[in-house]
Structure 1
């Protein structure tokens, strides 16, 4: 999951070197914390949050196939 988020995020931003993904595993779900450069945050979120919603749908579908739960959060 972490590699998938990293791949998608690096393809969307201007500064792919500053993309970081941290995986926090809990009892029931995994949270993938996505950190990008200040200027690229808008590109990851998109208009009305459409891009981050699409990333979450992809991760949700991929994790469901593995019988797990995962979500993506953008951190500052």
Structure 2
């Protein structure tokens, strides 16, 4: 499973409108940034209480990236 697919699967499991989930991959020299977009009404579900859900998603992404020798960053956009 690719990182982009991993993020999509995690986000779709959290939201009410999974069809609105979109992930854009921006590759840099040393870092890959994944931009996650969800429906405005689902933004709170993806971020979670005090940002715990977003932090957990970033931790999983970072661990998977480390295993592949890449630095990965998750940005949640409105």
Q: Point out where structure 2 has 5 or more consecutive residues left out of the alignment.
A: none
Q: Which residues of 2 match residues 1-76 of structure 1 at below 5 A?
A: 1-76=3-78
1:2-61 deviations in Å (ceiling 9; x for gaps): 000000000000000000000000111000000000000000000100000000000000
Extract structure 1 runs of 4+ deviating beyond 6 A. Answer: none
Q: Point out where structure 1 has 5 or more consecutive residues left out of the alignment.
A: none
> What value does the CA root-mean-square deviation take over the aligned residues?
0.4
Alignment length (residue pairs) = 76
After TM superposition, the score normalised by the length of structure 1 is 0.98
